[in-house]
A and B are shown apart, each in its own frame.
Chain A
Amino acid sequence: MKRHGKKLAAAALGVLCLILLSGCHGSKEQAAFTVPEESDTSRQYELTFWAKNDTNINQTEIYKQAIADFQELYPNITVNLRLYTNYGDIYNDVITNISTGTTPNVCITYPDHIATYMTGDNVVVPLDELFTDEKYGLAGSEVLFDSPSQNEIVPEFLEECYMAGHYYAVPYMRSTEACYINKDYVEALGYTIPDILTWEFIWEVSEAAAEKNADGTFKLNGGEVLLPFIYKSTDNMMIQMLQQLGAGYSTEKGDIQIFNDTTEEILYTVAAHTKSGAFSTFSISGYPANFLNAGQCVFAIDSTAGATWMGSDAPLVDIAEVSLADFETEVRPVPQFDPEHPQMISQGPSVCVFNKEDPQEVLASWLFTQYLLTNEVQIAYAQTEGYVPVTLKAQNSEEYQDYLSREGEDDNTYYDVKIKASKLLLDHMDDTFTTPVFNGSVSLRNAAGQLIEEVTKSTRRKETVDDAYMGNLYAEIQALYHLNEFGGPSEGKVDLGPLPGTAKILLAALTFAWVCILLYLAVSVQKSKKKEKRNI
């Protein structure tokens, strides 16, 4: 399988430059979109739809079926599908195509990415008016399918698509992260898995699992390989830990707050558990699912949208059958610092519509976008992984409820780990959060993960991780991701020390000058009043 997640986003700065340069060099500025009064069905429209699948053939089939069904309803609209297997490639290609004016019509993307697309004028269509359009809006009178109303889109998910005062996308699917656990191993170590994991629990059990025999093999599995705790997306790891601890990450406006003391404490914790062999990451070692399924891992944290890869009976497996271990898989939310108030990230794809010269083409794009929110698409796609439909209409439907109730009936459609992962998010919708979206938030996210990756690698390489190391790391990451170019440098107010003496003299002199000016004005007014009295 491709090493996804490694060859992802190109430089955000380069991206920004492309957009800005395209603006400078006479690219035709696009007019803002206005909703046509009528859809002109006498004309043919050819749309391009860039979609992402999780290297999952079922998802590809659902996209194709959705397009076929939509085209049957709207014979004058043709939708051409282009598939990607990671968001980074979509992001890069969209950026390149913004500068050449050849964006797709409809695109699966992340809100973070949309914030960068929006650096160009009228590139992404604000959807507010389309939502509420009586004829073609959500549940509009002229829409030829059973589309959800705006109220039927999960408000928290819809809110994630609201930026700069407008809705620039609709949610498509939602997921969070889950901790997939080898229950047998945890129990063999003498522990019981709590309903809500704590970081303390995870580290303690992982340390116990890292113990070795005299011959260098691991006590727990008797093998030479065991990564007790492996994390797929270290950016999420850092973001969630900071959120749970109430520490800074960024402000809504994009001021960077991540380089703070709490981050440093987290990094020291990561270093300590890396040193003992209790922790590793996807980038360093490989896919968490592969280690979990081979009996070489106790806790594997990955997206709920990766649930079909997790466990002895997983329908999707990347390791040889002979390497599969037989164990019971438990699914839990990501570990917490305060289990009474769990907090976990909300993630998953959204859909945006790109502006075109022809408003009718944009309207056609919107209709297709809306079609992706129908129960047919939502329920089918949600079943391919541990996703959750983004509409209450789909979530509450009999069909979806029936699906959830059949957990474990087979190891495919009703694979228990997958359905448990979906239920995890459904049960914790109020405990999810997202990070602020701004131009540069993609870089900040990458930086968050890179901090953990660097500390983990350095520890494994027996480098000294101390205050000096942290200082250098912060400076390097800040420079690498151009974080000073997007927002403020650090958390809270920066103490710049006492004012220099010369500055104090300058300020005093200026104050004195202003006092003199005011005195002069006051005296002048008095004199003129006296003159007026004399004149009377």
Chain B
Amino acid sequence: MKKCLCAALVLSMTLALAGCAGGQADTTTEAETTEESAAVETEETAAEETAEEAAPAEVMTHEEYMAAEIDSQVTVESYVQATQSWWEDEGQGKITVYAQSEDGAYFFYELACTEEDAAKLVPGTKIRVTGYKAEWSGEVEVMDGTFEFVEDGEEFIAEPVDVTEMLGTDELINHQNEFVSFTGMTVEPAQEGSDAAFLYSYDGSGTDGDDLYFNASYNGQTYTFTIESYLCDNTTDVYSAVKELQVGDVIDMQGYLYWYEGVNPHITYVGPTA
């Protein structure tokens, strides 16, 4: 009896093992089949991708970019002028870039970017960006963009365009995102009835490290300027310079002509007027 039982157990285990082995064999076959079909698909996809790669999107001029519809895909080449701080969102690196070419400027909002590449985005670096043209609160930008470095040896650092006389005119928006300067402007109180020349955050609700807001006037009109902390944090000279401003100071400024519900320059330099 014991022998019979032992034999039955051995048989069942053998069958079980055979089942396992068979399963593996079948699985392998299926896997191979799947792999084969996947390989076909992959080859096809790769071929398609190669075809796509062979015909990269045509690089637009700035004029063509400006004429493109909002939400359309765009590809442009330009030169990095400045970047906001790199950060990571759900494991995806992102960086916002102020870029400018001889024919115009761009704002690349949160380009996909590794930390390693972010370090290479120094002023003057030429990049090719593909993304979608968007408008956010008046700011025309490229969002959801990717980029590659264009290594043709060319560099470009924009000289600031003095737009002081254009303040308050319709002409100003034509220089959106450009590196610009403001000269001979007078620092005004940051808030009505206050002696303070600047505010942490737009209403003073912030603290050191937050964006700085300050007002300056020209020809009797007052305009608001911002130290965007992601661009120039509280360790930068310009952040310190703004904290030292006094109402009545006459200053020159440089920065990028960002837009938020109207002109909202992101200032990178403040100094006594020349």
Contacts and interface: CB of A to CB of B under 8 A. Distances in A.
Interface residues of B, number: 46
B134 interface: yes
A285 B13 contact: no
A444 to B, nearest CB: 12
Interface residues of A, number: 57
Contact of A318 (B8, B26, B134, B261): B261
A250 interface: no
Contact of A443 (B19, B22, B90, B110): B90
A446 B90 contact: yes
A502 B9 contact: no
Interface in B180-227: 201-207, 210-211
A501 B18 CA distance: 12
Interface string A421-465: 000000000000000000000010010000000000100111000
Given A2-B211, A10-B87, A286-B137, A505 B22 contact: yes
Contacts of A85: 201, 205-206, 210
Interface in A290-322: 290, 316, 318-320
B205 A460 contact: no
Contacts of A319: 261-262
B92 A480 contact: yes
B23 interface: yes
A164 interface: no
Nearest to A1: B202
Interface stretch (A21-29, A31-39, A194-202, A508-516): A508-516
Interface string A315-349: 01011100100000000000000000000000000
B260 interface: yes
Contact of B137 (A8, A14, A290): A290
Contact of B202 (A55, A506, A523): A55
Contacts of B8: 512-513, 516
Interface string A64-88: 0000000000000000011101000
A503 interface: yes
B207 A82 contact: yes
A60 B205 contact: yes
Nearest to A516: B8
A83 B91 contact: no
Interface string B89-119: 1111000000000000000001000000000
Interface in B12-29: 12-13, 15-16, 18-20, 22-23, 26
A56 B205 contact: yes
Q: Which of A318, A505, A509, A523 has the most CB of B within 10 A?
A: A509
A473 interface: no
Contacts of B228: 2
A461 B90 CA distance: 24
Contact of B91 (A13, A55, A508, A516): A13
Contacts of B205: 53, 55-57, 59-60, 83, 85
A533 interface: no
A80 to B, nearest CB: 11
B71 interface: yes
A481 B204 CA distance: 35
A14 B88 contact: yes
Closest 4 CB pairs of A and B: A506-B19, A502-B23, A286-B137, A509-B16
Interface of B: 1-2, 5, 8-9, 12-13, 15-16, 18-20, 22-23, 26, 71-73, 87-92, 110, 132, 134-138, 144, 201-207, 210-211, 228, 230, 260-262
Interface of A: 1-3, 6-14, 53, 55-57, 59-60, 81-83, 85, 284-287, 290, 316, 318-320, 323, 443, 446, 457, 460-462, 480-482, 500-503, 505-506, 508-510, 512-513, 516-517, 519-520, 523
14 contacts: A10-B89, A60-B206, A83-B210, A85-B205, A85-B210, A287-B137, A457-B132, A461-B132, A502-B22, A505-B22, A506-B20, A509-B15, A513-B16, A520-B2
Given A56-B205, A502-B20, 9 more contacts: A1-B202, A9-B89, A286-B136, A480-B90, A480-B91, A481-B90, A509-B19, A512-B15, A516-B8
